Structure 1
Amino acid sequence: MKKIKYYFSFLLLALVGCDDKLDIVNPNTQIIADYWQTQDQAQAGVNAIYNSLILDGTYMRMFPTLTDTRGDDITGDTPWLDIAQVGNFTIPTTSGPVQWIWGAKYQLIWRANQVLDNVPAIEMDEALKNRILGQAYFLRGLAYFNLANTYKVVPVVTTAQTVISDDEAVQVETYPATATEEELWNQIFSDFQMAKELLPISYDNVSGPDQGQKGRATKGAATGMLGKAYLYRQQWQNAADQFEQFFTGDLQGRYSLVEDYRDNFKPTNENNFESLFEVQFGSVEEVGGSTRNYGGDPNSTWQQVSSQGYTYAMEGYGYSDVLPTRWIYNEFKEEKTVNGNSDPRLLETIASYEPEDNSTTVYGGTPWPFAEDRIFPRKYTHDGIPGWTDEGGIENSGINYRVLRFADILLMYAEALNELGQTSEAYQYIQQVRDRANLPDLATTKPVMGQQEMRDQLAHERALEFAIEGQRINDIIRWGWLYDPEKLAMLKQHDADFNTWTPGNEYLPIPQTELDVNPNLATNPAN
């Protein structure tokens, strides 16, 4: 089976609870106490969490877009003011897309909490129960990881039960207070650790309704995200311990780099051996549907499309809402391959006119229709994919969004080792990524680098490998570059959007609509 079909998740509808003050039952709405009874209902419950990944506020469009535009590799090129203002760090608290991201993440968390609250008591196959709980922990951890990197501080809610006997407690539970950064990140660590303990390495040989399904969270995904979370909090040894398991533990040999870099961003060869976790999308032709999956309550007519392919597509083939910066284009030109050619990732990431590299056409062979100095995103669009000539004027991409790749494990492990003073050991993991791009041996071209030199080298390597993948702004924030005058000046040279950055606005603001209804919700540095 190629992937999880999210339409199975429509089995889980909105579940409504009530307390003993109003004992009225709606015969058309199933209540929580009546729903969580069977193994099939538990499976439908975890499927519903995955459904929240394909909303506009998660990976369908807005979350990747508002993350990419805050980096120095992408700039806004759009009449949609929200995208432009996020890109130049002036977004108001009343922005609709900022609210969509918040709402979709907490919808995911609420669904995960339902599973974690109710599935343990169901009499069912224990191995399947563990897998279901592990997936719920993983997906909740992923939601909180994204919230932490987007808003810095948010409420941590770990139960779906909001109706309890004490009236004062009802108020606190209904209106959760903002957690500290430490509390938030400790929850992320805990969720990924629990997921790691409960999830299988693969679903190929399990027994149950999930047997053979691609796209479900695995032990490798949980281990990788746990290591990434530790890395983001500069817990270098903890991070290295997680990444080491991909090379000496039971995950050894499970993942590797695909030969063709572009296989990570097109609708063929999805869920490959480089992918630790990816969000499953399908075009209308693949999975049907008539209602766009922007958000709200899912129904049987929902589509499962990604809008990113059309949002990022060049003029004439989509909205062209974002453009690569000239800096990231030039960064690809900094180093030639061992054969004297351009870095092959350039033309897999950016559409540009390159006669010397036989890049003079777009979308199925159309001669380059723009000025020769124009550049556009190619990654995650259908440009250059055989058999595709036009996206049909609609948002109908079936390209999966890759959340975590093995290339990231390699470069994060190298970073952790460098920070632990093991700089010489970092070379071998960086070189695996460089080898796919056919770049020279770093140990020969830059031998015996010091720790700071290696930091700069890793920043360069990550910029090229993960351009237009929602990574850059998170790297910039966690490295402290915005508060380093020299680095900030460099960012302003890379992308003029940084000229309007002010302290705290590297994050999105807490939505005003949330502040208006929750008296316990605190503002963040961007408000």
Structure 2
Amino acid sequence: MKKFLTILLSVSLLVSCTDDFTDIDPIGALSDASLQNATGVDLLLTGAYSVLDGVRNGFAADWHITGDNWWLDVISDDAHKGSTDGDQPDLLALELFNWETTNPYVDGKWLALFAGVNRANGVLDLINKSDNPDEFAVQAAQARFLRGHFNFEIQVMWVNVPFISTQNFSDNEFNQPNSGPIWSEIEADFTAAMSNLPASRGGSYSEPGRPIKSTAQAYLGKAQLHQGKWSTALSNLDAVINSGQYALNSDYFANFRTDGENGSEHIFAIQFASDAGQSFQGNMGGTLNWPIGPMTGGMCCGFYQPTQDLANAFQTGADGLPLLDTWSTTDITNDYYVETSEAFTPHTGPLDPRIDYTIGRRGIDFNGFGAFTGKENIRASFTDVSGPYANKKSMYTAGDDGNRGTGGWGQQRSGINFHIIRYADVLLMAAEAAIESGNLEKGRGYVNQVRERAKNSPRADSSPNYVIDTYNSAWSDASTARKAVRHERRIELGMEGKRLFDIRRWGNTVSTLNAFIANEGRTITPFSDRAFSVQSKHSALPIPLNAIDQSAGALSQNPGH
């Protein structure tokens, strides 16, 4: 099937092939007819699932195209690039808000997501050309769900984007204009998926990586939330909550261990797996994001370090509630500029316990490997844009790492699943939609479910001063409620690749990130000294110059880039 091979071999995704090329069948190509059966359709569908992690051989570095969006956190206030400044300078440029249209991270991510769109279109095109398309209704629903997912990510990253339809795909018309948002097409895909996906998993449809009806409904609600369609978003998110299919894990950190995968909180996740070899089914895009040092066996490469700003957000008052108005005015105690050989006392003030399942900080247990020993596990020097912290959510726990393999140069490839949507996210999206719809009490109830779980989860360490409680008094106004739910999203979902898209949809990109740059400078002066001022253009990534050049004039650049 020449069109599928064109995708699989990854010819530039927005370029029409020449007539001469498309008139010649590739050697060994499969015809449409040979694939128009259950086995063939599922083969192509598996190919579409396979690029959820973004990885395709020969196209960009794995970390450029990662499916867990870790480097999108680096251009928010949640994470620094980490490592030394000279390692991955293109990502450092993004972190410092010096964005160029030729940046390989931006270019690689664009290619990876459109590869997903076109693989989903390849499935739909094959089904449409079969003798009995209705026979493949469930497979078509999965393909539309996947196309909705890939287009959702394209939309929230680039804002003004093209939509490549099944007809465009069939006609090789990939040069489509980016005339504006494609929310209506995204909603249509998730709505269609809801109509034909099974209501639950079981029998021949039991694999946890495949979506069911409520998965599509959760994603539909998420898409509507991003558009400010509060009432319809709330209706869909409430339906997921009331379906009885999901519940919060009793242990918060179970969401980030291999033994807790696909549990009650799982809605949709990239299904990673590791082995004793090179773990090609592991998280290849996150391979740089492991602490370096003696504690965990000298992994690689010290990237994706939480910010001081994120650490500060976990401060609480004596009542166990977040410091919604003052959390950013003081810094929790840290060991920046302190060598491992020097004495250090961790922060003694009250903290939300989720900090120590999110951030590796000195003196506190690091995923069962013992108390984090600080600088010797941080690759960067004190003059690099980095900080004193390590990420924890994508890192193995001690005893959970026996089957981990290494890549060709010793890098780790985590087998821990990445949550694209988990139930706590749905609760907090529903809380936000309820608050914006005027139902503050419903919103408070959903937020309190998330906080109650955090309050009752096992503790990462026995020594910190953990103080957490629920909101036991009604919120006085929508402004207070709004601050509470937005803050809760940050501390519940920190270091999960979602922060940038939240502040963008709230319209707070410029104010939030410029305040972050100033506040971070209290601790990490190399960052604030070098970062550019955030401007309105940073509310959307630049369209890659390669894509514009290859589009025959169809694509135009985002404003300001």
What's the TM-score once normalised by structure 2's chain length?
Answer: 0.77
Structure 1 CA distance, aligned partners of 2:447 and 2:235? 18
Residue 125 of structure 1: how far off its partner (Å): 9.4
Residue 231 (1) aligns with residue 225 (2)? yes
Match of 1:282 in 2: 273
Residue 459 (1) aligns with residue 453 (2)? no
Deviations 1:322-352 (A, max 9, x none): 2111121122122468699742211110111
Structure 2 CA distance, aligned partners of 1:118 and 1:397? 34
More displaced 10-residue stretch of structure 1: 44-53 or 34-43: 34-43
Residue 118 of structure 1: how far off its partner (Å): 2.0
Structure 2 CA distance, aligned partners of 1:21 and 1:268? 49
Match of 1:415 in 2: 432
Q: Does the 8 Å CA contact 1:36/1:122 hold for their aligned counterparts?
A: no
The AA in structure 1 aligned to 2:124 is L
Deviations 1:405-443 (A, max 9, x none): 110111111111111111122111000000011132303
Q: Does the 8 Å CA contact 2:361/2:388 hold for their aligned counterparts?
A: yes
| Partner secondary structure for residue 390 of structure 2 | strand
Structure 2 CA distance, aligned partners of 1:367 and 1:258? 26
Q: 436, 439, 450: which is aligned to 2:477? A: 450
Match of 1:214 in 2: 208
Q: Does the 8 Å CA contact 1:199/1:218 hold for their aligned counterparts?
A: yes
Structure 1 residues 418 and 141, CA gap change in structure 2 (3 angstroms): same
Structure 1 CA distance, aligned partners of 2:157 and 2:24? 40
Task: Calculate percent identity across the aligned residue pairs.
Answer: 27
Residue 364 of structure 1: how far off its partner (Å): 2.8
Structure 2 CA distance, aligned partners of 1:449 and 1:242? 27
Match of 2:389 in 1: 375
Residue 258 (1) aligns with residue 249 (2)? yes
The AA in structure 2 aligned to 1:490 is A
Structure 1 residues 385 and 469, CA gap change in structure 2 (3 angstroms): farther
Deviations 1:337-380 (A, max 9, x none): 869974221111011124xxxx2556633762537993211111
Q: Does the 8 Å CA contact 1:61/1:306 hold for their aligned counterparts?
A: no
Q: Does the 8 Å CA contact 1:114/1:160 hold for their aligned counterparts?
A: no
Structure 1 residues 306 and 494, CA gap change in structure 2 (3 angstroms): farther
Q: Does the 8 Å CA contact 2:70/2:495 hold for their aligned counterparts?
A: no
Q: Does the 8 Å CA contact 1:310/1:391 hold for their aligned counterparts?
A: no
Residue 476 of structure 1: how far off its partner (Å): 0.8
Q: 259, 269, 281: which is aligned to 1:268? A: 259
Q: Does the 8 Å CA contact 1:505/1:525 hold for their aligned counterparts?
A: no
Match of 2:537 in 1: 504
Q: Does the 8 Å CA contact 2:509/2:538 hold for their aligned counterparts?
A: no
| Partner secondary structure for residue 284 of structure 1 | coil
Match of 1:69 in 2: 74
Structure 2 CA distance, aligned partners of 1:21 and 1:324? 48
Q: Does the 8 Å CA contact 1:477/1:506 hold for their aligned counterparts?
A: yes
Q: 132, 154, 166: which is aligned to 1:159? A: 166
Structure 2 CA distance, aligned partners of 1:115 and 1:389? 34
Structure 1 residues 116 and 330, CA gap change in structure 2 (3 angstroms): same
Residue 333 (1) aligns with residue 315 (2)? yes
Q: How many residues align?
A: 478
| Partner secondary structure for residue 356 of structure 2 | helix
Structure 1 residues 54 and 21, CA gap change in structure 2 (3 angstroms): closer
Deviations 1:226-279 (A, max 9, x none): 00110011011111111110244xxx2100100111121222221111011000
Structure 2 CA distance, aligned partners of 1:346 and 1:275? 21
Structure 1 residues 494 and 46, CA gap change in structure 2 (3 angstroms): farther
Residue 134 of structure 1: how far off its partner (Å): 0.9
Structure 1 residues 351 and 21, CA gap change in structure 2 (3 angstroms): closer
Match of 1:202 in 2: 200
Structure 2 CA distance, aligned partners of 1:21 and 1:370? 56
Match of 1:4 in 2: none
Structure 1 residues 386 and 282, CA gap change in structure 2 (3 angstroms): closer
Residue 116 of structure 1: how far off its partner (Å): 1.3
The AA in structure 2 aligned to 1:90 is N
Residue 154 of structure 1: how far off its partner (Å): 1.5
1:385-424 pair list within 5 angstroms = 386-387=400-401, 393-424=410-441
Q: Does the 8 Å CA contact 2:79/2:304 hold for their aligned counterparts?
A: yes
The AA in structure 2 aligned to 1:194 is A
Deviations 1:185-225 (A, max 9, x none): 111111111111111132213xx4xx321211111211111
> Which residues of structure 1 form unaligned runs of 5+?
1-8, 165-169, 293-302
| Partner secondary structure for residue 365 of structure 1 | coil
Structure 1 CA distance, aligned partners of 2:498 and 2:61? 14
Structure 1 CA distance, aligned partners of 2:300 and 2:362? 19
Structure 1 CA distance, aligned partners of 2:143 and 2:61? 18
More displaced 10-residue stretch of structure 1: 117-126 or 142-151: 117-126
The AA in structure 1 aligned to 2:220 is L
Q: 440, 449, 452: which is aligned to 1:432? A: 449
Structure 1 CA distance, aligned partners of 2:396 and 2:271? 16
Q: 139, 151, 162: which is aligned to 1:144? A: 151
What's the TM-score once normalised by structure 1's chain length?
Answer: 0.82
Q: Does the 8 Å CA contact 1:65/1:83 hold for their aligned counterparts?
A: no
Structure 1 residues 35 and 493, CA gap change in structure 2 (3 angstroms): farther
The AA in structure 1 aligned to 2:224 is Y
Q: Does the 8 Å CA contact 2:159/2:180 hold for their aligned counterparts?
A: no
Structure 1 residues 380 and 95, CA gap change in structure 2 (3 angstroms): same
Match of 2:359 in 1: 350
CA root-mean-square deviation: 3.2
